[in-house]
Structures are given as structure tokens and as C-alpha cells.
Amino acid sequence: MGNMNDIFDTDRKTLQDVEQRLEMPRREFLQFCATLAVTMGLPSGAEAAVAKAIESAKRPSVIWLHFQECTGCSESLLRAEHPTLEKLILDVISLDYHETLMAAAGHQAEAARKDAMKANKGKYVLVVEGAIPTKNNGIYCKIGGHTAIDLVKECAADAAAVIAIGSCASWGGMPSTIPSISGADSSPTGSVGVSEILGRVVPTIPGCPPNPYNFLATVVHFLTFGKLPEVDKLGRPKFAYSRLIHENCERRAHFDAGRFAMEFGDAGHRQGYCLYKLGCKGPETYANCSTLGFGDAGENNWPVGCGHPCIGCTEKGVGFQKPIHQVAKMLNVTPPLQYPRIVEEQGKAASFASAAAVAAVAGAAAGAAIMLTRNLGLSHAAEEAERAKDAGKPSADKAGV
């Protein structure tokens, strides 16, 4: 019994130390560990291992590199306030090199990086923020006289783990965008992601900026299990990027019911209708933006919650490449767009052709998919009839088409 008391007293003392060290109440710390465990998809009871790792694991040295970026990823980390994430991050890890946050500059900064790499060879974590230019031997981004290409290769050689944070480091992001009028086959500086430079899949936390808790959960997973979490073929942790935003979107019910905002500021937009027809890329973008609060400023603090379509910033080939107004490609269902909405605009009843089309589809199949597909917009024939009427010409129905 005495041994059990000793263990209990030791655990309590450890939690008290954590409370003082992180300036976080004990209950809040345990709740935070449980939240991280759930976020990472770990089984029940794993929160104890997470708490133990944060309490007692040796802080890993972190080398944080900046290249072609806006520093938004670092800024998002610093602006999370509940719990005070910046204190947790700076205490859980030993941030030995970060050009934006460190006090050292010039030769002192470079010396700090090299000393940390030497003292923690094979044990430090390399975090890369920003795209890496490759054109003209990488001369468009140099730090301390070295190109971004050389720095990434040098720092990754002896790193225990490499993490790319943000869309720029993940796959090139905005710097890799090709101007449509240039006729070029790549971006002006040939910007690419970390994995392309290293020639291997690198765990990546895409987003512009990404949710800081996705990054934190990845680091804590490394602390707890000594390895990075399972990733998909693009290197994204599956706990955060395995589901489409559309699947859990707060506006999904409006999508299923056929209620869409047709223009910014219209009645549907003001009432929180689905933004699919305004170009929301949620149906083709994998991320947990719709389920994980961003920046502790409220659950609505993300583009769709604020009334703007998702631009697909976590998805290569979507974010910064597809026009914002372009309708998304449905990855889990591809509904035809010729069916009328569930509620027609006043004074514009569905035409006989559109009603017949709905009846034909309803007779061919049943179920939720049909209920979804039949609600996505006025039929093509009805639209043609309206245009013909406005132009003073015979409608398609009257013409016998």
C-alpha cells in the first residue's frame, strides 16, 4: 500500500510540476491530452501516454527553417490562446533555431543552428515552412549565403524526423502558382515542396495557414511513440486529412436540401445556405477544418463559417490553381446539375421537361443519392425556356425539342 501511495504522490508531484511549468491548470492539461489523443485517432486510454510523454520526455531539439512563405504558419501557432499554445510548444520542444522568433541574428543565428544540429545529431526534428525555389540553382532564396536547397538537404541529413508545415512547404503552395497568361510551364522561381527536394515522402501539414493543433498533434505523437503518425500517399497525417471537408461541413444539410447561395450577399448567403455554387472546394478537399476549431476564436472561425467558399488550400491542384468561382468536383458523389431545386423561385415553376426528367430518375432509382441529385439547380430546359422568353423567341418546349 505504501508503494501505491508513493506512485500516487509521484504522479501528483509530476502534474504539479507540469502545472507550474506550462502555467496550465492540471485539469485543463489532462483535458488537452485527451483532446490530442482523440484528434490523432488513438484508442481509449492513450491520453495517459500522451500526458506522460509531455510530462517527462526529453524535449527534442527543433530546427525550424523559413523559405518562400509569409510566416503565416508560425503566426497561426503564436495566436492560439486556449490553452496558451505558444507556451506549450516552447516548453514541449526546444526551439533552437527559428529565424522569426529567435533573438540571435547573422553569424550568431547560423552558429546556433549548427551547434544544435551537432549536439543533437540524429535526434532533432526539422520543420520546414515555405516553398523551395529551384530555378537557376535556387538563387531566389538564400540564407547565410546558402540556398534553400542546400539548407534543406544539410539539415535533413541528420534529422530524426522532417515535417513540412503549410501548403508552400507541402507542395509549393502559392509561390508555385503558374500565371495563366505567361505561357510558362512552371512558376517564376520553380517553387516546389520539401518532398520533391529530398526525393521521399515527407510528413506534411498543409493549409494556408494550417490549423496549429494538427501540427501540435503530430509533434506530440512523435514524443509519445517515437515516430510520426500514419500518413496518406501525399504525406498528410490521416488523423487530420482523411475526410473531405464537405462530409462534416456545418452547411451540409443545406446542400442535401438543395439550398444554395447563388450570389454573395443574396438571401441564401445571408441565411447560411451552402456555398457550393459559389465555388466552395470542400467537396474535393481533404482536411478537418469543419470539425476542429481554428485559433480558439470560435468554431465559426474558418472560411465557410465566415461566409466564404473553401479555396482548397490543403489540396495540391486545387488551392491557388482553380478559380475561386469554379464549381468543385464532387469526389464522393457526382450529381447532374440539370435537376430543379427543391423549392423553385417564386413565379418560375419547373417546366414539363424538367418534371419529366425528375420523374424518370425517380423511377429508375431511389434513396438518398437521388434526393441529393434532384435538388441541384434549374434544369437546362427550364433555363433555355427562360432565355428564349426573355429574348422574345419561341421556347424549346414550344419548338418541340
Residues at the binding site are 70, 73, 168, 208, 246, 249, 274, 280, 289, 310, 313
- Three-state SS string over 341-369 comes to CCCCCCCCCCCHHHHHHHHHHHHHCCCHH
Instruction: Using only the alpha carbons of the chain, give its radius of gyration.
Output: 26
Name the residue with cell 483535458. Answer: 31
In angstroms, the CA 276 to CA 267 distance is: 15
Q: 133, 117, 105: which is closest to 191 by C-alpha?
A: 133
Q: What DSSP assignment string belongs to 253-294?
A: HHHHHT-B--STTSHHHHTT-B-GGGT--GGG-B--TTTS-S
C-beta neighbour count of 328 within 10 angstroms: 23
Answer positive or negative: Cα dihedral of 117, 196, 132, 316: negative
Task: Taking each helix axis as running N to C, give the angle between helix 46-56 and helix 212-225, from 0 to 180 degrees, rounded to the nearest 10.
Answer: 90
**Residue stretches of the annotated binding site for [3Fe-4S] cluster:** 289, 310, 313
The answer to whether the beta carbons of residues 169 and 67 sit under 8 Å apart is: yes
Cα 310 from Cα 72, distance rounded (Å): 18
Binding-site residues from annotation for [4Fe-4S] cluster:
70, 73, 168, 208, 246, 249, 274, 280
CA neighbours closer than 13 Å in the CB half-sphere of residue 26: 7
DSSP state of 329: P
Residues 347, 322: contact at Cβ < 8 Å? no
Which residue is listed with cell 472560411?
303
Please give the grid coordinates belonging to residue 238: 490521416
Q: Which three cell numbers stand for residue 118?
A: 551537432
